[in-house]
Amino acid sequence: SAAYTADLVVFGGTGDLSMRKLLPALYHSDRDGRLSPETRIIALSRGGLDDEDFRGKVDAEVRDQVPAGDPAGWRRFVNRLHHVTVDVGVQNADDTAGPGGSGWDALAALLAGHEDRDRVFYLASPPRTFGTFCREVAAAGLVTPRSRVVLEKPLGHDLASAQHINDEVGAIFDEQQIFRIDHYLGKETVQNLLVLRFANAFLEPIWNSLWIDHVQITAAETVGTPGRRGYYDHAGALRDMVQNHLLQLLCLTAMEPPARNDREAIRDEKVKVLQSLRPITGGEVDRFTVRGQYVEGDGMPGYLDEPGSTPPTEESCRVETFTAIRAEIRNWRWAGVPFYLRTGKRMPRRVSEIVVQFKDVPHSIFPGGMPNRLVLRLQPEDGIELHIMAKEPGAGEVTLKPVPLSLSFGKTFTARVPEAYERLLTDVLAGNPTLFMRRDEVEAAWRWIDPILAAWETSTELPEPYPAGTAGPEGARELLGRSGRSWHEEE
């Protein structure tokens, strides 16, 4: 595979995302030969570090996360690292520009003479800094025709703020140069979903409302939000997980076959799905959505008592750490098929999966059968399972039993399964935006989310409490139960 020559400039380069995800992913890319010897990684922060300080920090904090036994490779990687102290002129939470930034001259000096290589500005910083960063980097003359910009989530907190950010970034970079990250799109099983659907003939004829009863998309986490309340109080599960990750999974599950495996063809089909989502507004919000917040349970503190948190505010009491939604797609293929979305913190198990529940056979000649079910698991282990009915061995009465036809990627393929960020960073370096969200996609997703947020914000009810370590509030069970359905793991 190709080795890329680029200057990768990471704004927020000493932050949590950079240390936990980006740098380990870049190390693996380096190890797999995808970074040319000249490629440099330039972290920007306000931290006042020099290159040596930063290399020492990465050595201390990142080295443990990557495989041991490659000291030469690690040294080569660390030598690519640079640090420049930059302060963008954003001081104000309301996004009005503060005094102009500083540090751009030092960055310009480092980049000078390398205008012919790809230049990637990776913004791993809060979204209110995106616009200012872009303006200042452009004013410093650092945006070349071969530049790209990568935007981390969250992209705004509602449609209007997302449009504002998109306008600001769009004033400096062309849409073709803008890479909006949703790291779920980099997960192996998510990409495999497209291969499963469009490189196999047997699924597509039954992939519709004639054969499918409903779809469940779950991202359950065992972690809580310790130390993250500052962010999470203003986010909540709907903004943090549904607007982006779960809706992307829904798009890939529901989209029409694109004509080509190409960036625009795939994204065109995804945006059509988002535009076909039936709006959930006003009084319907209570019927089709559930909110929960974890309270103390199983030896774990509740959301409001997480260590390192500030005293709870009214906002903290209202924020959802769990949500379940019954979505519908209004088009020919999916009319009448509910898509149940669910995500939560402090659930009993970490599992992310898409469950496609088929309808029962039209006429059963055996007692006790169960409808087929296809499970695409993203986490904890990538895999695909098709639950089929089989006869239990025995000479007596015929007894049916559901058994899985099961594919474990870990067992079937020997290659290391890369982390989502490795795939996505490789695509950024290659200039391939297929697995990144286009502006219209992000905005269509917010357009569907906004009325739900609005109804929740004006609701007199608080989220339903659920004890930490349990599968969310009772309301989530009822959401399916009232039509005689149940969540996958409850059977």
Based on CB atoms, which residue is closest to ligand BG6, 58 or 351?
Answer: 351
| Smallest gap from residue 488 Cβ to ligand BG6 (A) | 17
DSSP per position, 149-207: EEEPSP--SSHHHHHHHHHHHHTTS-GGGEEE--GGGGSHHHHHHHHHHHS-TTTGGG-
* Span 441-480, contacts to ligand BG6 by CB under 6 A: none
| DSSP assigned state of 308 | T
Q: Which is nearer to ligand BG6, 132 or 218 (CB)?
A: 218
Residue placing its CB nearer to ligand BG6 in the complex, 6 or 249: 249
**Tokens 């535009």 correspond to what residue?**
275
Q: Report the residue number, 6 or 445, with the smaller CB distance to ligand BG6.
A: 445
Other CB atoms within a 10 A radius of the CB of residue 318 amount to: 17
Shortest Cβ 89–ligand BG6 spacing (Å): 27
Q: Which is nearer to ligand BG6, 76 or 488 (CB)?
A: 488
What DSSP string runs through 39-98? -EEEEEESS---HHHHHHHHHHHTGGGS-SS-HHHHHHHHTTEEEEE-B-SB--TT--B-
306 lines the binding site for ligand BG6 (CB under 6 A): no
Give the shortest CB-302-to-ligand BG6 separation in angstroms: 17
Q: Is 245 a catalytic residue?
A: yes
Determine the Cα–Cα distance for residues 379 and 234; give it in Å rounded to an integer.
27
The dihedrals phi and psi of 252, each to the nearest 5 degrees, come to -70, -30
Using CB under 6 A as the binding rule, whether residue 352 contacts ligand BG6 is answered as yes
Tell me the site size for ligand BG6, rule CB under 6 A.
6
Bond before 154 cis per omega within 30 degrees: yes
Which residue carries 């979204």 as its tokens? 127
Catalytic member of 245, 363, 387, 488: 245
By the rule CB under 6 A, 240 interacts with ligand BG6: yes
**Gap between the Cα atoms of 105 and 86, Å rounded:** 9
Instruction: Give 33: exposed, middle or buried? Use CB within 10 Å, 0-12, 13-18, 19+.
Output: exposed
Minimal distance, residue 237 CB to ligand BG6, in Å: 8
Cβ–Cβ under 8 Å, residues 372 and 386: yes
Q: How many beta carbons lie within 10 A of that of residue 32, not counting itself?
A: 14
Closest distance between ligand BG6 and the C-beta of residue 240, in Å? 5
Structure-token pair, residue 187: 């997960």
Within 139-178, the residues that bind ligand BG6 by CB under 6 A are 153
Among 188, 213, 221, 353, binds ligand BG6 (CB under 6 A): 221
Residue closer to ligand BG6 by CB (options 248, 276) is 248
CB of residue 426 vs ligand BG6: minimum separation in angstroms? 17
**Residue placing its CB nearer to ligand BG6 in the complex, 87 or 182:** 182
Q: Residue 243: how many CA atoms within 13 Å on its side-chain side?
A: 27
Residue 231 CB, shortest distance to ligand BG6, in Å, is 8
Please give the residue whose beta carbon sits closest to ligand BG6 in the complex: 240
Residues between 376 and 415 with contacts to ligand BG6, criterion CB under 6 A: 379
Q: How far apart are CA 316 and CA 216, in angstroms?
A: 28
Compute the radius of gyration of the chain from its Cα atoms.
Answer: 24
User: 3-class SS at 220?
Assistant: strand
Contact set with ligand BG6 (CB under 6 A):
153, 219, 221, 240, 352, 379
Active-site annotation, residues = 245
